Structure 1
Amino acid sequence: MPPASLPPPAPDPHSRAGTGPARVRHLALDLTVDFAARTLAGTATWHLAQPAGAADALVLDARGLAIEAVAAGPHAGGSALAWDLGPDDPVLGQALRIALPPGTVAVTIRYRTGPGAAALQWLAPGQTAGTEPFLFTQSQAILARTWLPCQDSPGIRFTYDATVRVPPHLLALMSAENPQRLDPSGTYRFRMAQPIPAYLMALAVGDLAFAPLSGRTGVYAEPATLAAATYEFADLEQMVATAEQLYGPYRWERYDLLVLPPSFPFGGMENPRLTFVTPTILAGDRSLTSLVAHELAHSWSGNLVTNVTWNDFWLNEGFTVYFERRIMEQLYGRPYADMLQVLGRAALAHTIAALGPTSPDTHLRLHLAGRDPDDGLTEIAYEKGCALLLALEARVGRPRLDAFIKKYFARFSFQAMDTDAFVAYLRTALFDATPSLEAAVELAAWVDGPGLPAAAVSVVAARFADVDGALAQLAAGTAPAALAPPTAGWSSHEWVHFLGGLPPTLGPEGLGALDDAFHFTASGNAELLAAWFPHTVRAGYGAADVALENFLLRVGRRKFIVPLYQALLATAGGPARARRLYAVARPNYHAVATTTLDALLAEEPAVGAGAAG
């Protein structure tokens, strides 16, 4: 069956591209990476979806870019075109409006980025695992416009090819067909044949090596990290094969991972063909690889079928969380996946409480016009979206829901989907056969209602029964050392649940006994440390102070560091300590993290719900 055709989307409140009739279809990018100046410079040639009409203009998004010239045709030497940059908005940037003579089929823009481009993180050697500098991009949600003039809307897709010039001892990679070995010339050429939105544009440059994991999967990392990464991700091919069994063929040819330095602000980023991942999941026991399953699942939900605007973000993330846990269940069993569901539901409850149970920000359909779309990157999109699919599964059964999801990905592949179009398709493909189903699921309450609807399915993890038993024994006065033997086989997820269940009244002495028994402060597992440190901060457990400060100075993952700064702010004398630490740590954080933390650590911070990732 050919892909279904969706109606034209409504204008994107976070992109200026909807204000002009011209649409792009292909990008030819030519850039030089300058580590000394911390800039990218070169040309972006946009091929149009159709020749320009009599009054057409090409409208692109730009933020902080220095536009040097604009020419007609596929080369910078074409005839000059009139252009202007509109008023600057601190979130949206500027509209780059280019006048198009009738019949124009391509436009070439010569430009350079600023050293403070928000998508780009330039790392000195001391911020990496090696002895060379490093560059990586983070384009989601609307930061592609800070390193590329583009139609920066998730509803607009294009293919691309690129030439990137870097220092000859460094390797360049993109969200495209990638080299696996260093080219002594320092010139790399890339091709992405499948159309993608601008937020999936990605570039990384560093001292990188590659190790294959299967014929279509592999891992890139700095040489000092490669062996650990290769061990950690040994099940990657099984993950891809399992995902295909569930919801159809993988459409992007290769699936490789790039392990970034620890300043990367997210757990992972689903750039097509090359997922970026944080080194904080290198636990040494493969216990945190559900994050990789999540980014892989985005190859279907998000990369293949994409939210039209960031108001529909849940269509990317809710499906992906559900899909991720189905992959983990297939590989490691239902009890393992149930732990992920329970931890996710707890995170959702925390977010709803922080945002407020009646807040419109707890709706699946968001209204983010006039705000940074990163405001919508919370557990609502992820976990409430997943909970809706669990509610559907409970009422129609897995086989029927799986058939629906598989057909959904096939019918709307390489297209954008908004909430209204999805609801219409859900009614046609699933609800029509059972008219009472929509009311039973309470669909309207999920999409446009606050909090967690009554139709939500309870989740239970059998493997957490032993954890809850240990917590009960601890509360009854059992010494932590006596609990050590039964906990020997616990996974990271059981330990995170244990730490989340510790009483908030536990003082330094109690935390010290736990630390002596289980060595939390000395753990190399970032998930455990991120769950442990809020207790040590609250209780004033000084033995963990050095480890906490080292963690905040080294790790830039927003999911971890925002709650830790929030914990510091809530203690006596904590605000001054938090700001002192942040002043030192800030250069190691990406703009995605500093945007949140700058507001949080202002003189009168407004503590919010935090962010997923």
Structure 2
Amino acid sequence: MRRLAAPLAMLLASAACTTMEAAPPMPAAAADHMVSPILTTPEAVDHLTYAQPQIARVTHVRLDLDLDFDAKRVGGVAELDVLAQPGAEEIVLDSNGLEISNVTDGAGRELRYEIGGNVEEGGKGAPLTIALDGANTLRVEYMAPLDAEALQWLSPEQTKGGVHPFLFSQGQAILNRTWIPTQDSPGIRQTWEARITAPKPLDVVMSGVRQGEPEELGNGRRAFTFVMDKPVPPYLIAIAAGDIDFRAIGPRTGVWAEPATLERAWQEVGDTEDMVLAAEQLYGEYRWGRYDMIVLPPAFPYGGMENPVMTFLTPTFIAGDRSNNGLVAHELAHSWSGNLVTNAVWEDSWLNEGVTSYFENRIVEAVYGRKRAEQEAALAFAGIEETLREVGMDAPGSALHHEPGTDELGSAITYDKGHFFLRTVERIVGRERFDAWLRQWFDNHAFQPATSKLFYEDMMANLVGSAAEGEALKLREWIFEPGLPANVARPDPAAFAEVDAAVSAYTASGAIPATYSSWSAAEQMRFLDNIPKQRSAEQLAALDSAVGLSDAGNNEILFLWLELALVNRYEPAVPQAEEFLAEVGRAKFVRPLFQTLWDQGDWGRPIATRIYAKTRNSYHSVTRAGVDRVMNAAD
């Protein structure tokens, strides 16, 4: 997620004394759509877009697209409502490989356009500049490229059912510009609607509300219509199509999945309605209408993606005991932090992920109890400490807000340090006072972008009682400086007292805990993550025999076992690792296992090379990119 054009100096200077500048008056064509403001302060300039939204911006997108599973292409028309400053001569969109055939205005008059010739690295693509000539509606006829990075086309063999193909998209952070011509920046929120045609019997879902039943077209195809009437950042426009069925959970919640997966998926997410109620009690009304989920085939590269009204989930979270449902709580929490209030630039992505991780833990506490919440928080905190030990407390990427070009340090900072920042403030000022502040943050900034500076200023104005209290809370240090402030509210050491004692006993004598099978998934993960990493083949065989690691139904635990086994060159685990890597496309699991194999030199590299030759084409571009970096690493 992550880098643009030089700042618009004159426009930014005129806005530098304000926090937010309201959008100009809407043209008549967009009057029936909600229009969000844009931030105009220097820290809100998105370096990963070519758009110049202060001059001309997209407010609404209408898609009319055909899905061609034989050619693995998406194409059709995108109609854009434009809001422009008086005298604006052109609008700049983002494009990465889009094949534009024609651009007209609302009356069918052709408009000049140009795709920039100097395509930048890092997925930014090239600017698509269109002459406005007075138009406030643009009609772009186009085709997405064959290798559009946002789209994953699966053959029937790559699905659970094995009969029909499958398609899903993943837009975050800047991949949607490979299949939708728009201004692909989180700070430029847009409403949208879509009409999608697909071959029967496939169903289509999107991150908008489906309108009625599919339209029968009489040519072996059906048309599906969707509306998102609330402005969202464009990375949240998402689509999935395949042989999928639906099953309701509660009055406003349900799950889609392939028929062969649906029962297990439905059982696993059965607490979702309770989670929505718990979230509302914490931080206010759920504003998106329905909260549905789709459990995708295993090639999906992430644990989950918080697409509005249709969270995308990996099947790897299904454990049979709801032990990984923190993932569902996390994606649900994004309906407030991330979807309702969104980071204006990706350098502030902790505003999405860190706030959400804190919110997730509060939902887990409300639904599953304080002990489970404390244990999951302790696992997250261990990740922070491990990362900071590796990179150093002064590593620039360990600040929550980072400048463009700074290397990110992954989820331990963006997610977990952000979580513990809010956890620390809550513990110091008190939960009642903190919750009232966070609720007003969501209410007062709903459907708007935000920056770290804006978040800090809001805390100073609406949470803390004085500048001295803000200093004592170390608010600025938490957000803008590297490392971990001294006032961090560390997790309760008693959360894993039994497990940590078992780790000590195993380390000292090899004693395998007899109570392992009765532990929670978090306790089992704590044990596996903390025992000595150097084990003999005999020790690994004994551990596996005693607690059944190779038969674990929880993929988080199975991953930890495979990682431990491979780092010790344990031959009996190689076939299982090969099977796992052939079935799972989640980057969180795939990249580290290939890294572990690669790090084993002459033993592991031939294994990694052999497996990757078979699996690479089945992975999403996000997963492939990570593994490519591993496999191309210098000796």
Is the deviation greater in 321-330 or in 542-551?
542-551
CA-to-aligned-CA distance 1:557-589 (integer Å, 9 cap, x gap): 111112211211221322232222222111111
3-state SS of the aligned residue for 1:13?
coil
SS in 2 for 1:17: coil
Contact residue 341 and residue 442 of structure 2 kept, 8 A: yes
Per the normalisation by structure 1, the TM-score is 0.93
Q: Where does structure 1 lack aligned partners over 5 or more consecutive residues?
A: 606-613
Secondary structure in 1 aligned to 2:210?
coil
Q: State yes or no: 1:175 paired with 2:211.
A: no
How far does the alpha carbon of each residue in 1:246-271 deviate from its partner, in whole angstroms, 9 at most, with x for none?
00000000000100011111000000
User: Are 1:413 and 2:413 matched, yes or no?
Assistant: no
Identify the residue that residue 620 of structure 2 maps to in structure 1: 590
In structure 1, the residue matched to 2:481 is 449
- The change in CA–CA distance for 1:97 and 1:363 in structure 2 (over 3 A counts) is same
Change (3 A) 1:82 1:63: same
Alignment deviations for residues 468-507 of structure 1 (CA, whole Å, 9 cap, x no partner): 1222232332543xx33x2232121111101001112221
Match of 1:284 in 2: 320
- 2:531 aligned with 1:474: no
- Note the alpha carbon deviations across 1:298-325, whole angstroms, 9 max, x for none: 0000000000100110111111000000
Aligned to 1:149: 181
State the alpha-carbon separation in 2 of the partners of residues 63 and 411 from structure 1: 35
Residue by residue over 1:424-453, the C-alpha shift from the partner in whole angstroms, topping out at 9 and shown as x without a partner, is: 11111112x143222222222222211212
Distance 2:101 2:390 in 1: 46
Kindly provide the amino acid, as one letter, of the partner of residue 226 in structure 1.
L
Q: How many residues align?
A: 592
Q: Distance between the aligned counterparts of 1:56 and 1:262, measured in 2?
A: 46
Instruction: Report the Cα distance in structure 2 between the residues aligned to 1:179 and 1:257, rounded to whole angstroms.
Output: 17
Q: Which runs of 4+ in 1 moved over 4 A?
A: 2-7, 179-185
Is contact 1:44-1:148 (8 Å) kept?
A: yes
Q: Secondary structure at the match of 1:604?
A: coil
User: Which string of whole-angstrom CA distances, capped at 9 and with x for unpartnered residues, describes residues 394-439 of structure 1?
Assistant: 21011000000000000000000011111111111112x1432222
Q: 1:466 to 1:370 in 2, by over 3 A?
A: closer
Cα RMSD after superposing both structures: 2.0
What is the one-letter code of the residue matched to 1:531?
L
Match of 1:340 in 2: 376
- Equivalent pair of 2:81/2:137 in contact (CA under 8 Å): yes
Q: In the aligned structure 1, how far is the partner of 2:223 from the partner of 2:609?
A: 42
* Offset, 1:123: 0.5
Match of 2:467 in 1: 435
Alpha-carbon distance in structure 2 between the residues aligned to 1:190 and 1:42? 16
Query: Any residues of structure 2 matched to 1:235-246 within 5 Å, and which?
Result: 235-246=271-282
Q: 1:297 aligns with which of 333, 337, 344?
A: 333
The answer to whether the aligner puts 1:120 opposite 2:169 as a matched pair is: no
Distance 1:364 1:141, change over 3 A: same
The gaps in structure 2 that reach 5 residues or longer are 1-21, 23-34
2:535 is equivalent to residue 499 of structure 1: no
Deviates more, 1:421-430 or 1:300-309: 421-430
Aligned twin of 2:266: 230
Counterpart in the other structure of 2:239: 203
| Residue 217 (str. 1) matches residue 253 (str. 2) | yes
Equivalent of residue 106 in structure 1, options 137, 161, 175: 137
Amino acid at match of 1:439: E
Equivalent in 88, 105, 110 of residue 119 of structure 2? 88
Question: Partners in 2 of 1:230 and 1:437 — Cα distance?
Answer: 47
Code of the residue aligned with 1:604 in structure 2: it is A
Question: Take 1:57 and 1:377, find their aligned partners in 2: how far apart are those partners?
Answer: 38
- Cα distance in 2, alignment partners of residues 20 and 407 from structure 1: 27
User: Identity of aligned pairs, percent?
Assistant: 42
Q: Partner of 2:185: helix, strand, or coil? A: coil
Aligned pairs for 1:570-609 (under 5 A) are: 570-573=599-602, 574-604=604-634
Instruction: Tell me if structure 2 keeps the 8 A contact 1:314–1:382.
Output: yes
* Secondary structure of the structure 2 residue equivalent to 1:135: strand
Name the counterpart of 1:608.
none
- Distance, in Å, in 2 between the alignment partners of 1:477 and 1:26 is 65
What is the CA–CA distance in structure 2 between the aligned matches of 1:590 and 1:55, rounded to whole Å? Answer: 39
Q: 1:609: which partner in 2?
A: none
Distance change (3 Å), C-alpha of 1:522 and 1:488: closer
User: Contact 1:549/1:581 (CA < 8 Å) preserved in 2?
Assistant: yes
Contact 1:72 1:81 in 2 (8 A): yes
Change (3 A) 1:344 1:32: same
Work out the CA distance in 2 between the residues paired with 1:271 and 1:376: 24
Within-5 A mapping of 1:450-465? 450-460=482-492, 462-465=494-497
Give the Cα separation in 2 of the matches to 1:461 and 1:527.
23
Matched residue type, 1:59: V
